[in-house]
Amino acid sequence: MMTDIQRAGPARLAVLGAGVMGVGIATLAQGHGVPVVLVDIREEALERAVGTIPRQLRLARLHGKLPREAAPAGLRTTTSLADVADATAVVEAVTELPDAKAKVLAEVSALIAPGTPVVSNTSAIPIDELAGHAARPQDVVGAHFMNPPYLIRTVEVIRGPRTSDAALDAVLSLLAALDRESVVVGDGPGFVINRILQRVINEAARVVEEGVASPESVDALFKGCLGHSTGPLATGDLIGLDNVVDSLRVLRDRTGDAGYEPCDLLLAKVRAGDFGRKTGRGFYAYDSLHS
């Protein structure tokens, strides 16, 4: 059976938000020959993306994570949302602030053709809550790419209660075309990964805040004793501590669970602008910015 994406011809992806994730998702699409229009409200984010995407492509190809032979696809950057109108799928990767996402989803869904899947890369906001802001809630699906999306193959796909079969199928086809492996889960704050992971990062930061252990010791225990490839604090730095705090607040507000209240140390780091890799300092210091 043909999906909506196949019926619409070759995929043309619109990516909203040119931050850590939007740029990485654009790299993934480009690496598979899928044209991308990348939208941000900040011109400087788009300028940086134009330099970053070729670097990420080279890195991913070097590691054998993207095909070397894919034909170059068009990349357009824009601050005008109207430029996404002919996309065959939209991936929303704007800042994890519910109001910002609500606004952009309402606007974009009014611009695109009915049946065009609207994919949110939210970390923690329930898909049905986001779908409520879209013109057609049935077209909204969650696809929680991991960071960096062009290196990590598995994607947590979230089916909201109002997501249609057609939208889910179209997103699964798109992810398969991008050589991603999908794991479909149900809806709810934080879905599976962040319901668990954000709490772990918060608790790990609290351990450091209380002087029980250094960041190095916390991460060494998770790596050495549990076989994790990275510890929770290095993971927090990779995600971006600003995003961790935003996600924890989303989880706290939607579950009422005090375990998600961002700890003082996380809040202090965000106040100081120490967001992790993307600013060069978080729980650790980094020589080059993550870009």
Ligand X SMILES: NC(=O)c1ccc[n+]([C@@H]2O[C@H](COP(=O)([O-])OP(=O)(O)OC[C@H]3O[C@@H](n4cnc5c(N)ncnc54)[C@H](O)[C@@H]3O)[C@@H](O)[C@H]2O)c1
Catalytic residues, which ones?
144
d(CA 183, CA 159): 10
Q: Is 41 in the site for ligand X (CB under 6 A)?
A: yes
At its nearest, how many Å lie between ligand X and the CB of residue 152?
A: 10
Q: Which of 26, 39, 66, 205 binds ligand X (CB under 6 A)?
A: 39
Shortest spacing between CB 210 and ligand X, in angstroms: 26
Residue 35 binds to ligand X (criterion: CB under 6 A): no
Q: How many chain residues bind ligand X (CB under 6 A)?
A: 28
Binding test (CB under 6 A) with ligand X, winner from 30, 121, 138, 163: 121
Q: Coil, strand, or helix at residue 226?
A: coil
For 41, the token pair is 């409200």
Binding of ligand X by 109 (CB under 6 A) = no
Q: Which residues does 40 contact at the CB level (< 8 Å), separation at least 6? A: 16, 17, 18, 19, 22, 46, 49, 77, 79
Which C-beta is closer to ligand X: that of 22 or that of 262?
22
Please work out, in degrees rounded to the nearest 5, the angle formed at the alpha carbon of residue 92 by the alpha carbons of 53 and 36: 40
Q: Which listed range, 4-12, 141-149, 160-168, 211-219, lies at the site for ligand X (CB under 6 A)?
A: 141-149
Q: Does 49 bind ligand X (CB under 6 A)?
A: no
- Token readout for 283 is 């729980």
Q: Residues with Cβ < 8 Å from 196, sequence gap 6 or more?
A: 190
Question: E strands of the chain, at which residues?
Answer: 13-16, 36-39, 75-78, 89-92, 118-120, 140-144, 154-158, 181-185
Taking a C-beta distance cutoff of 8 angstroms, is the pair 41, 108 a contact? no
Pick from 20, 75, 134, 208 the residue near ligand X by CB under 6 A: 20
94 lines the binding site for ligand X (CB under 6 A): yes
Residue 142 found at the interface with ligand X (CB under 6 A): no
Find the binding residues for ligand X in span 228-247 (CB under 6 A). Answer: 239-240, 243, 247
Token pair of 130, please?
């986001």
Q: Site for ligand X (CB under 6 A): which residue of 15, 53, 96, 197?
A: 96
Q: Does 93 bind ligand X (CB under 6 A)?
A: yes
Is residue 22 within 8 A of residue 12, CB to CB? The reply is: no
Residues making contact with ligand X (CB under 6 A): 16-22, 39-42, 45, 93-96, 100, 104, 121-123, 144-145, 147, 239-240, 243, 247
